[in-house]
Amino acid sequence: MQYNHLDIEKKWQKFWAENQTFKASNESEKPKYYVLDMFPYPSGAGLHVGHPLGYIASDIYARYKRHKGFNVLHPQGYDSFGLPAEQYAIQTGQHPAKTTEENITTYRRQLDQIGFSFDWSREVRTSNPEYYKWTQWIFIQLFNSWYNKDADKAEDVSTLVKIFKKSGNTSVNAVCDEEIISFSADEWNAFSTKEQEEILLQYRLTFLSDTEVNWCPGLGTVLANDEIVNGVSERGSHPVVRKKMTQWSMRISAYAQRLLDGLEKIDWPQPLKDSQTNWIGRSQGAMVTFKVAGDFENTTSEVKLSYKELEALKELRQNLSKAESTLWDELKNKKGAAKFRKKYTIGAFLVDYVCLAKNIIVEFSDKEDEAARTTYFTNEGFNVVRFTNEEVLENVLQVVSKINSAIQFPKAIEKVTEKQVVSTAQNQYKIDVFTTRPDTIYGVSFMTLAPEHELVSKITTDAQKADIENYITATAKRSERDRMADVKTISGAFTGAYAIHPFSGKKVQIWIGDYVLANYGTGAVMAVPCGDQRDYDFAKHFDISIPNIFEDIDISQEAHTGKDGTKIANSDFLSGLKYKKALKLSIFEMEKRGFGYGKINYRLRDAVFSRQRYWGEPFPVYYKDGMPQMIDAKHLPIVLPEVEKYLPTEDGKPPLGNATEWAWDSRGKKVVSNEKLKNKTVYPLELNTMPGWAGSSWYFNRYMDATNSGEFASKESLDYWKEVDLYIGGSEHATGHLLYARFWQKFLFDKGIVPVDEFAKKLINQGMILGTSAFVYRATPFIKSDCFTAHASEEIMNKIPAVFVSKNLFNSDDEFETIVKNHLIDNDFLNANDADSIMIVKTALHADVSLVNSSDELAIEAFKSHSLNADYKNATFILEDGVYKVGREVEKMSKSKYNVVNPDAICSAYGADALRLFEMFLGPLEQAKPWSTSGISGVSSFLKKLWKLYFNEETFKVSKEAATKDELKVLHKTIKKVEEDIENFSFNTSVSTFMIAVNELTALKCNKRSILEPLAILVSPYAPHIAEELWSLLGNKESISTADFPIFDAKNLVESAKNYPISFNGKMRFTLELSLDLSKEEIEKAVLENEKTIAQLEGRTPKKVIIVPGKIVNIVG
């Protein structure tokens, strides 16, 4: 009987689906084992051969573990929220849910045809409301938590409030915002609810913060660093600016140390751990405060109001006129730099609305003292915009758009009078810096601030103002990545201000420079040019002094960055000390004198959690009086609203701003139409959505109890499955997904929701499968200039057809040109006289790999009729040996390179089993490797040979006879090797082992059931379909997946003799078969007597004979 993969594979896939063979139970006597793949994003292109690589490996492992008696959880799902679907929706208007659904259907079909043993009853999709309900729920848990550093874990906010009520915040040791006011219990209790909420927001694990983003006004959206090329957007080349935006952030920094410590107890690849360690970036040093020298003009208009006046203000804020509240409803949603406040005092005036960051005052006209107000506000540097009640009530949107344009294009303000100078010693500015080298503090000769540093505008002197402003404008255009990548250009500007060195009291210049990044540390550095190369280069470039504080070190050429063995000099009390002592002493002194303290800093930044996108999880958040409110968990999920357009709104709001049904009815507890926003109990909902990593940060827990509608997952299932035992996926997720997921897991652990604080015990990165692109070489003719008239040129060019030259016909561009010219002349496409006047240039074009066979031969007719090659219908091909050979190159597999290979074709031509074996056979799992189908015939013929072992010509036939010693040896050798290979994730070598076993058994003409039955089980994790078929032909009724793995018995491998390699000086020269019973002496005697040994020695006496019984003999001499 012929091996027919198509029928067999279809039959067993159907069997597995119908019998739910791989459905895992949450209760079992067996030990549990959880094997997980990083779930795919279902893209429109479908699965390519790279995807299944990891899935096949994990499937082999899962199937193996089942044979080994484990209760295996092996689920699969889709990370189905994401940008591509949204982009596609923007282009075509199709709902992302629809295209996502279609893509998932394709993925599922492709996954099924490869025969994976997934438990599909547990499938999750991050875009499914039943799933993201729990993503929203986790968000609420984070919002309701703070990080208690004393307990070193997250706790419920209620415990924090309890402390505040009892003793204020001075004793609280929490991870929170940097600038926190201190308050007593009495003060806390006197705060309004809103003030209390504002304070709590500074402690919550998810919180609103102004974050710098890459804003692209042209696209109305925020861009990732890699979506920006040369300062403009990759799509459409629009300008990009750095801008502050109010966004949700996650206080992952609270977990920095624990994320670092946790790496030690998980079995993950070292490079992956390294990159996480690097990302967290722990550094030990000191926080030092430098005072800014001199007096400064204070232009802020802070006016202290009495308690009574404050109360009156509150009253006023709540009782707005109709026009006032209409306008406020529009203005209050503005966030970040354009955030408005209502009923605010500027000087002695109460203004209707003000945006402090943009210096804009919005007022209703017809106030009695309008002229006086205008003068005062203008002097204070404010633009004033006025509207009448009627204007607002008739067309509030028009009013808003006028306000927007006032924000974007502020009028230059002429200052009429001198500013009020309120100065002061007590109001002195301070600059905090973090340094890892406080021991070098006497080497500080200047300071550098990030251009975005908030102090820059305040301390810059009038003389330097123009310089500084120019510099800031110039750097605002550069992306963070640009600034970081460019190490060579040294740029900066002097603020004119000076800082006081805290120890020496000397004045040091304060500069700004874009090598200092606002987001890192404090956004300021104390520059020690003698000890840091960047500072050194900066000082050299701007001619700043470079004091040497190292004993006997020459710093005339470069900074001295080493620390070991160097003694500090010229540093007062630190002089003469070595690094370690100086470090300790400097910190000690700082702490004693009160301007610094020892600190551990982490590079890890709090993670921005808001995305201005449509296709993501909505936040369960509405805004009441500008303060975020969580929707009660029992009303979840908050389902993504329908929108007309998936683009940002015209006034720059995220796409959800287009939704008409997107307001929260706090009484009815449901999402209602925006029209109802006028009602007092209806509030606007959050317009941002969550990022891609939200849904993927906890999905591995959901699989444990995927259909639970009442809980995130039941406690019993979480306690049973605990964590992923084996997680397989690409290394590109090293710092994104894998760090955030660990963070959430630790948080959920702190809150007692999950039983373990690391979600994956072991992780393996599978290597990328690269594409092998095919190139055809086109000849492009050019007329050399001035040789012909335009008319004549055209005539010549028109005669020349498109010509392609086969790969091996040329070695250089010159040879290429000669071949083409000869061809053209021989075929009368070109007049021999004109040949010297034209030039032939070689152009390599990607040819679709499906048009090329494994011998690199192009299917010429198919190429001509390929939809991409309409231009080459009449092209001529210069052949070698009658065929056209293409050039090959290994590149990333990508649609644009026409080198994508889809597994479908291989499944139908060779079968899923062949595909599975072949992908494993390509090489080590972790290694990147090019895809090439040459070689698939090898595994395919292996399967045929395997099949044949069980057949006698046409009929299935196995014998009951006892197996011979040789047959048993083959079997047990294979059991041993395959078991070791799977345990070591060395799947490529076990495929070889199978081939060897089948070759040997074929040679032995073995058809014994006692050999072939266990063999089928051995093969089944790799090639499950053929194994099932053979298993059932052997008379078994149950799926082979229920069979026990064969047990290795060493006695079958015992040998009586060994073919010893006989080496001379370590080089093997010949082998000699000797009994294993021989003693060392007997071996030596036998070897030295051998005539080949005598010939090798050529009469010399061996100096030494090394004998390792059972291994080798080495003769020295």
Partner RNA sequence: GCUCAAGUGGCGGAAUUGGUAGACGCGCUGGAUUCAAAAUCCAGUUUUUUCGGAAGUGCGGGUUCGAUUCCCGCCUUGAGUACCA
Site for RNA in 625-654 (CB under 7 A): none
Q: Which of 25, 28, 937, 964 binds RNA (CB under 7 A)?
A: 937
Instruction: Choose the binding region for RNA from 76-84, 86-94, 636-644, 1106-1114 (rule: CB under 7 A).
Output: 1106-1114
Nearest CA among 523, 477, 515, 491 for reference residue 228: 477
Query: Hey, what amino acid is at 384?
Result: V
Q: Which of 6, 151, 422, 1108 binds RNA (CB under 7 A)?
A: 1108
Minimum gap (Å) between residue 292 Cβ and RNA: 18
CA dist., res. 468 & res. 465, Å (int): 5
Q: Tokens 């107890």 — which residue?
A: 265
247 binds RNA (CB under 7 A): no
1079 binds RNA (CB under 7 A): no
Structure tokens at 312: 């009156």
Site string for RNA, 448-467 (x = CB under 7 A): --x-----------------
432 binds RNA (CB under 7 A): no
Minimum gap (Å) between residue 480 Cβ and RNA: 7
Q: Which of 161, 357, 517, 1088 binds RNA (CB under 7 A)?
A: 517
735 binds RNA (CB under 7 A): yes
Q: Which long-range contacts (CB under 8 A, 24 or more apart) does 219-228 make?
A: 219/648, 220/647, 220/648, 220/649, 220/652, 221/612, 221/613, 221/648, 222/611, 222/612, 225/479, 225/480, 225/481, 226/481, 228/479, 228/481
Minimum gap (Å) between residue 927 Cβ and RNA: 5
732 binds RNA (CB under 7 A): yes
1061 binds RNA (CB under 7 A): yes
1056 binds RNA (CB under 7 A): no
Nearest CA among 91, 259, 90, 249 for reference residue 176: 249
CA dist., res. 990 & res. 970, Å (int): 14
CB 500 within 8 A of CB 441: no
Instruction: Choose the binding region for RNA from 216-224, 332-340, 939-947, 957-965 (rule: CB under 7 A).
Output: 939-947
1102 binds RNA (CB under 7 A): no
995 binds RNA (CB under 7 A): yes
The C-alpha angle with vertex 973 and arms to 972 and 976, in degrees rounded to 5, equals 80
Q: Which of 232, 484, 859, 883 binds RNA (CB under 7 A)?
A: 484
Structure tokens at 1018: 């051995």
Site for RNA, residues 942 to 961, rule: CB under 7 A:
942, 944-945
433 binds RNA (CB under 7 A): yes
Identify which of residues 477 and 603 has a Cβ nearer to RNA in the complex.
603
Identify which of residues 875 and 890 has a Cβ nearer to RNA in the complex.
890
Minimum gap (Å) between residue 773 Cβ and RNA: 14
Minimum gap (Å) between residue 243 Cβ and RNA: 19
Residue 783 neighbours by CB under 8 Å, 6+ apart? 793, 796, 797, 837, 838, 839
737 binds RNA (CB under 7 A): no
Identify which of residues 480 and 651 has a Cβ nearer to RNA in the complex.
480
Minimum gap (Å) between residue 225 Cβ and RNA: 8
889 binds RNA (CB under 7 A): no
Sign, Cα dihedral of 184, 185, 189, 190: negative
To 10 degrees, the CA torsion angle through 144, 147, 151, 153? 80
| Helix residue spans in 242-346 (DSSP H) | 256-262, 270-280, 307-318, 322-331
Site string for RNA, 839-858 (x = CB under 7 A): ---------------xx---
Q: Tokens 């040019």 — which residue?
A: 529
Q: Which of 230, 827, 934, 964 binds RNA (CB under 7 A)?
A: 934
Q: What count of residues does the chain have?
A: 1117
Question: In angstroms, how far is CA 992 from the centroid of its own chain?
Answer: 35
Nearest CA among 121, 139, 118, 129 for reference residue 39: 118
Minimum gap (Å) between residue 717 Cβ and RNA: 34
Neighbouring CB atoms inside 10 A of 587's CB total: 21
CB 1070 within 8 A of CB 1058: no
Instruction: Choose the binding region for RNA from 607-615, 807-815, 995-1003, 1046-1054 (rule: CB under 7 A).
Output: 995-1003
1114 binds RNA (CB under 7 A): yes
499 binds RNA (CB under 7 A): no
Identify which of residues 796 and 936 has a Cβ nearer to RNA in the complex.
936
Residue 613 neighbours by CB under 8 Å, 6+ apart? 83, 86, 221, 654, 655, 689
515 binds RNA (CB under 7 A): yes
Question: In angstroms, how far is CA 185 from the centroid of its own chain?
Answer: 44
Q: Which of 232, 677, 996, 1086 binds RNA (CB under 7 A)?
A: 996
CA dist., res. 73 & res. 99, Å (int): 29
CA dist., res. 699 & res. 80, Å (int): 12
Identify which of residues 180 and 600 has a Cβ nearer to RNA in the complex.
600
Structure tokens at 697: 């940060």
Identify which of residues 323 and 526 has a Cβ nearer to RNA in the complex.
526
Instruction: Choose the binding region for RNA from 209-217, 371-379, 485-493, 675-683 (rule: CB under 7 A).
Output: 485-493
Nearest CA among 623, 615, 617 for reference residue 647: 615
1007 binds RNA (CB under 7 A): no
Site string for RNA, 255-284 (x = CB under 7 A): ---------------xx--xx--x--x-x-
1074 binds RNA (CB under 7 A): no
Minimum gap (Å) between residue 534 Cβ and RNA: 4
Site string for RNA, 971-990 (x = CB under 7 A): ------x--xx----x-xx-
Site for RNA, residues 118 to 147, rule: CB under 7 A:
none
Peptide bond into 637 cis (omega under 30): yes
Q: How many residues bind RNA (CB under 7 A)?
A: 86
Identify which of residues 515 and 712 has a Cβ nearer to RNA in the complex.
515
The C-alpha angle with vertex 662 and arms to 656 and 667, in degrees rounded to 5, equals 155
Site for RNA, residues 904 to 933, rule: CB under 7 A:
921-924, 927-930, 932
Q: Which of 233, 435, 697, 717 binds RNA (CB under 7 A)?
A: 435
Site for RNA, residues 566 to 585, rule: CB under 7 A:
none
516 binds RNA (CB under 7 A): yes
Nearest CA among 92, 74, 87, 85 for reference residue 37: 74
534 binds RNA (CB under 7 A): yes
Residue 733's alpha-carbon distances to 256, 507, 537, 737, 932, in angstroms, are 18, 47, 36, 5, 26
Minimum gap (Å) between residue 732 Cβ and RNA: 6
289-323 b/e (C-beta count within 10 Å ≥ 16 → b): bbebbbebeeeebeeeeeeeeeeebeeeeeebeeb
